[in-house]
Amino acid sequence: MVLQLVEVGDSRSLAVETFGDPHGRPVFVLHGTPGSRVGPYPRTSVLYRLGVHLIAFDRPGYGDSTRLPGRRVASAAADVEAISDALGLDEIAILGRSGGGPHALACAALLPDRVSRVAALVSLAPRNAEGLDWYAGMTPSNVHAYQEAERGQHHFAASFQARSRRIKADPASVIRGLVPELPPTDRALVTDSGIRQRLISTYRQAFQNSADGWIDDVLAFTTDWGFKVEDIAVPTRFWHGADDQFSPVGHSRWLADHIPGAELYLEPGAAHFGALQVMAEAMRWAGAATD
């Protein structure tokens, strides 16, 4: 693992960490909401076996990365481009899980000469997606958070800051709070000791300074993303657990219908955290050479 701070053009810095084979195919992995650069990801031995040079970073406002007030989903493309330049990477693949999915799609749409493939696991669709009931099938806690965000930052920011302080003191509280809303398959995954520890690590890193990244993610998801997914022209693959209630499966269906040539894999019986079990395969696909 190699950690560095990458300076970006507007006097910000991004905390970037690399894992796996330094000579492998570069694959950016964009973390969930809330989340951070520390994972959860496949083990180093798996990354070497896949031939993947994994690059992760704290999105602005999370962990050690400087906040970018008012950022949109599209803002992720400029950050990924700056990191790629700093690391000397001309061609990259992108994988986004959960809240990282929309940001991965932004990179594919806005960096077509640099991104070779994009994979999105349990992603959200744009809030203004025509013909999609955005809240259909979504767990009540997420519905409440997003609806408060649509009313304006002052309606939810204070509560998110208070929650982040509790999470910083006890990162496992996130998991305990989620369990009552999870279907059985997800409940079994988040109570697995290995996955639980990796989730605790990512939440601890995410909130070590503030809840700003979390707040800005939620605001970005519920406003215009700043690009059109229909403009994505690179190979695109979606995976979604059919029982997901945090990012309902209708979101990936809509995205796959609106991105030319996109592939969609729906897994019966799986839910939101099932994405952790398919990350290695998604990285293998994303990192594969294109013709």
Q: Is the per-residue pLDDT at 112 higher than 90?
A: yes
pLDDT, averaged across the chain = 95
pLDDT over threshold 80, residue 290: no
The kind and range of the H/E element at 132 are none
Within 13 Å, how many C-alpha atoms sit on residue 244's CB side? 24
**CA nearest neighbour of 34 among 104, 79, 126, 99:** 99
Strands 92-97 and 236-241: unpaired
Q: pLDDT tens, 68-102?
A: 999 999 999 999 999 999 999 999 999 999 999 99
pLDDT of res. 132: 98
Per residue in 251-286, pLDDT (tens digit) is 999 999 999 999 999 999 999 999 999 999 999 999
Task: Supply φ then ψ for residue 139, to 5 degrees.
Answer: -60, 145
The pTM of the whole model exceeds 0.85: yes
Alpha-carbon distances of 67 from 28, 162, 218, rounded to whole Å: 20, 18, 14
End-to-end CA distance of the chain, in Å?
A: 30
Strand ordering across the sheet containing 115-121: 2-8, 12-20, 52-57, 25-30, 92-97, 115-121, 236-241, 263-267
Q: What's the mean pLDDT in 64-70? A: 96
Q: pLDDT confidence of 38, banded at 50, 70, 90?
A: very high
Q: What pLDDT digit, counting tens, does each position of 148-205 carry?
A: 999 989 889 999 999 999 999 999 898 888 888 899 999 999 988 999 999 999 999 9
The token duo for 23 is 């000579």
Beta strand pairing status for 12-20 and 52-57? antiparallel
pLDDT at 56: 98
pLDDT band at 289 (very low <50, low <70, confident <90, very high): low
Angle (nearest 5°) at CA 175 between 173 and 176 = 65
Residue 123 has pLDDT above 60, yes or no: yes
Buried-state track 241-259, b at ≥16 Cβ within 10 A, e below 16: bebbbbbbbbbbbbbbebb
Residues contacting residue 133 through CB under 8 Å, at least 6 positions apart: 250
Name residues whose C-beta falls within 8 Å of residue 241's C-beta, 6 or more positions apart in sequence.
122, 185, 249, 266, 267, 269, 270, 271, 272, 274, 275
- What residue ranges do the domains of the chain occupy? 2-287
* The predicted structure's pLDDT at residue 9: 80
What superfamily in CATH does domain 2-287 come from?
Answer: Alpha/Beta hydrolase fold, catalytic domain (3.40.50.1820)
